[in-house]
Structure formats: C-alpha cells, structure tokens
C-alpha cells in the first residue's frame, strides 16, 4: 500500500491536508495544482473545532496557535435596530469540544500546509499542472496534462473544487447550479479603523435576504468583512470578481453605523464578489481508483463555515483509512462509510442555515430556538478518532 502512486488533483486546503495526512502515514503523494504559483489568495477562513482536531492530529497545533485568531464570542445583531439577537460564548469551546474555534487568513492556512507537506515530500507539488484528461483501466489511471505530458496513478483523489473535472469524468451528472446567493468580501487594515470601537470576536448583522459579517485576522491586524445576499442572477465567468464598494453601500444602505464604517473603509482593490453555486449530494464519493474530497464531493454554502472544515475532515479520515487498510478497495470503502452520511447532512444543513439567517422576520432569530453548528452537534466530531 505505501508504494501506491497517489495523485491529488487540486492544491487547495483539502488537497494539501490530504497530502500531508498521507505523507505522515508513509505515502508519497503528488499534488497536481493548475495555478502557476502558490500565493496569497482569498481572505478569512473559519477553522471550527471539528477541523482543528484534525489539524492538531497532523501536527499543526503550534502553527495554528501562532497564525490564527480565537474569537471568544460570536454576536448576531438586528440589521435595523442593532439589537443583539444571538450571543454565543466561545470561552468554553476547548473544554466543550476538545478544540478551539479559530479564524485565520486562508493564505496563512495554505502556507502552513504547504510547508508541512513539502518538509516531508520536497518534490510533492507540481504547479502549472492542469489535468486535461483521465482514463482508468485495470492497471491504474492515466493522466494527461494540458502540456501533453502524462502521469500514471494507482489512486486519484479529486480535490479540485466545486467544478471538479474529476467528479465529472467519473460520475457525470449535472453542472454546478447557481443557488440565488452572492457573496462579497473585503479586507480592511485595522489601522484604518483606529477610532472604531467594535465588539470582541466576530459580529454579524442579519436582515431579510442579507447577512453582513466581520471578524479579525492576523491577531487583529486585518478585519475580514463578508456580505451574503440573495440575487436572482449571476453572470460573471470567474468565481471571484472585483466588486465596486458602491454596490455594498447601496445594498446595505440604512444598516447600522458600524456596518457603514466598515464598508466605507474597504480598499477598492480588496473588494471582491462571487456567486454561490452548489451540486446535489452524491450517492457515492468513491469508485475503483477514485476518492472525492471537499467541494468536489459535497460543495457547501458558507453559512455554517463548514466548507474548508469538512474538506479537512475528509482528508484526515481518508489518510487514516489508507494507513489502516491492506488494500485500496478496503480503504476507499472505509472512507465512504465513514464520511458519506455526515457530509450529506452538512450539505443540507448549510443551505438551511442561510435561509434561517436571512429570513424576512429577523426578530424570529431571537424568539426561536437556536439551530446552528452547536445545537446540531457538528463541532463534537473528531476526524482523528471517528471509527473507520
């Protein structure tokens, strides 16, 4: 098993976590990343306790402590009155779930994973490596790259995101579908907001069809802002396009002063938007020589912050299954049994979470029982110890 040639398609959070987990178990996977360079991309990322337990298992606890922020409370306010509708105390998080709730710049998380993996497999990442075709036969999987070079793999792990080519080649099915939601994000240097007093931790404002969220990154040096809202159409070609700050100002006109101050402070070059897409749950996430992880297997809307977290769970569990099995078929079936029910549940609940936050009657957030990651038990999961 340890001599298997493993190809991981996609060098994002899920793919790199899988690579690190497999490398720590004695395998030498190769990550195929189509980008020409590994650089700073994205903005804020929530690493919830379920995911933190997996990353600590992979030896990244110290690096997380140094790079991540720990919000000790999460607040949801009313979009008009600014009244607190929900307050979640995160101080007991470590005792309650066995790990903290963290927030980190996606680029910092990516760098931590790259450094840890390449320390074990120095030549393990191939850049400019777009997979143009994939053909399976009894001897393995033949990969053809866009530059016409070829490679052979005994196992292909599809970590190539929402519009996964690996998923399409192996399972077919419908294309990604627009969900009717658009997201905006912006990063603000905290120094540009020095006279703005903000609640500690993270804070969201909820209103009909809209949610605006802000939280600190890099130990408060940056403020990450996100707006999620309903929109009938999305026509952009890219998943993340430059946005006009004026669009946010217009969309959230009349929202509380802090929201206005934050929007006005977003540098124009750091404002982006993207449409939110999903795909229906799969009945299987493995085949003879294939395993899907992360968004390739189960793309999730961001309302429960479980997209990256579930990809990390997948990666840790898959690596454990590979280490514990004597043959590939057994490893893949173990992985599917351990993951399919959970990720399908999280896919469905992540979508429902958006509807609850953006309901027309915002007052119901305060009146009705809270239904979130805590009450649904999502944070108790431990990918390092779940039965396989």
Q: Kindly report the length of the chain.
A: 388
User: Mean pLDDT, to the nearest integer, of 302-326?
Assistant: 96
Mean pLDDT of the chain: 93
How far, in Å, CA of 220 to CA of 183, rounded?
23
DSSP code, position 69: B
* Token pair belonging to 371: 């239904």
Considering the candidates 32, 97, 101, 215, report the single residue annotated as catalytic.
215
pLDDT of the residue at 352: 79
Query: What is the Cα 320 distance to its own chain's centre?
Result: 21
- pLDDT above 70 covers a percentage of the chain that reads 98
User: Above 90 in pLDDT, residue 240?
Assistant: no
pLDDT at 238: 62
Cβ density class 236-264: b for 16+ within 10 Å, e for less: eeebeeebebeebeebbeebbebbeebbe
81: three-class secondary structure by DSSP:
coil
pLDDT for position 254: 96
Q: Is 32 one of the annotated active-site residues of the chain?
A: no
Range with the poorest average pLDDT among 259-268, 304-313, 345-354: 345-354
What is the model's pTM?
Answer: 0.95
Residue with tokens 């890219």: 238
Tell me the per-residue pLDDT of 183-213, one tens digit each, with 9 for 90 and over: 999 999 999 998 899 988 999 999 999 999 9
The residues near 240 (Cβ < 8 Å, ≥ 6 apart) are 272, 273, 274
| List of domains in the chain | 6-176+279-380 (3.50.50.60)
Q: How much is the pLDDT for 368? A: 79
pLDDT (tens digit per residue) in 35-91:
998 876 678 999 999 999 999 999 999 999 999 999 999 999 999 999 999 999 999
Q: What is the pLDDT of residue 40?
A: 61
């Amino acid at each position: 098993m340890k001599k298997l040639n493993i190809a991981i398609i996609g060098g994002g959070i899920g793919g790199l976590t899988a690579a690190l987990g497999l490398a720590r178990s004695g395998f030498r996977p190769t990550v195929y990343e189509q980008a020409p360079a590994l650089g700073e991309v994205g903005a804020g990322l929530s690493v919830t306790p379920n995911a933190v337990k997996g990353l600590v298992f992979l030896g990244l606890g110290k690096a997380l402590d140094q790079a991540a922020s720990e919000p000790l409370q999460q607040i949801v306010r009313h979009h008009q009155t600014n009244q607190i509708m929900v307050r979640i105390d995160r101080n007991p998080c470590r005792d309650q779930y066995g790990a903290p709730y963290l927030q980190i710049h996606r680029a910092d998380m990516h760098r931590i994973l790259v450094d840890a993996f390449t320390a074990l497999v120095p030549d393990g990442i191939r850049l400019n490596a777009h997979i143009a075709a994939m053909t399976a036969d009894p001897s393995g999987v033949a990969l053809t790259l866009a530059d016409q070079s070829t490679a052979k793999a005994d196992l292909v792990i599809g970590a190539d995101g929402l519009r996964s080519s690996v998923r399409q080649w192996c399972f077919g099915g419908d294309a990604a579908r627009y969900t009717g939601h658009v997201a905006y994000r912006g990063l603000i240097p905290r120094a540009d907001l020095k006279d703005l007093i903000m609640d500690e931790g993270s804070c969201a404002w909820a209103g009909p069809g809209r949610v605006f969220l802000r939280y600190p990154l890099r130990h408060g040096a940056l403020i990450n802002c996100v707006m999620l809202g309903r929109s009938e159409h999305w026509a952009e070609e890219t998943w993340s396009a430059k946005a006009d700050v004026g669009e946010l100002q217009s969309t959230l006109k009349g929202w509380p002063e802090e929201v206005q101050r934050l929007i006005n402070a977003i540098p124009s070059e750091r404002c982006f938007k993207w449409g939110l897409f999903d795909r229906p749950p799969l009945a299987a996430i493995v085949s003879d020589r294939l395993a899907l992880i992360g968004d390739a297997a189960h793309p999730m809307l961001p309302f429960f912050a479980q997209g990256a977290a579930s990809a990390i769970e997948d990666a840790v569990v898959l690596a454990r299954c590979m280490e514990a099995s004597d043959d590939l078929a057994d490893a893949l079936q173990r992985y599917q049994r351990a993951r399919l029910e959970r990720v399908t549940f999280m896919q469905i609940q992540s979508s429902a979470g958006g509807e609850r936050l953006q309901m027309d009657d915002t007052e119901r957030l305060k009146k009705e029982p809270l239904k979130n990651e805590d009450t649904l038990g999502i944070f108790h999961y431990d990918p390092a110890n779940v039965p396989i």
